[in-house]
Amino acid sequence: MTLKTRANQLKTDIPALFIALKDKETPLLAKIFAGLTVAYALSPIDLVPDFIPVLGYLDDIILLPLLVALTIRFIPTEILEKHRKAAQDLWKDGKPQKWYYALPIILFWAILVLLIVKWWLE
């Protein structure tokens, strides 16, 4: 599978995971991972900010495909294929721009900063 094919598959898989998140047939563990994956994909804030040379883009290139692959493992094949078909053109006009998708990443960084400050003061 070429890099371009994998990138196009991600463009279908992320919306499919978004649809699977709302499906009653999707197992709970898969919904949890799908929620994390979709939130990370839609978040305007990355775990490692993009302005940091190399590392800023590596998290998008490595972390997002890993999250998608992990989530797909928890979704039954027939359910995933149904959602992939439904997701073909779901976000053709661009991904949704919702600020609250950034909350998990903001929370992560806030906790990390608090832990560093606590460690520094001790």
Q: How many residues does the chain have?
A: 122
In this prediction the pTM is: 0.65
CB 68 within 8 A of CB 17: yes
Q: State how far the Cα of 35 lies from the Cα of 38, in Å rounded to an integer.
A: 5
**What element of type H or E holds 67?**
helix 64-74
Question: pLDDT tens digit string along 71-94?
Answer: 999 999 999 999 998 888 666 666
Question: pLDDT tens digit string along 6-41?
Answer: 777 887 888 889 889 889 999 999 999 998 888 887
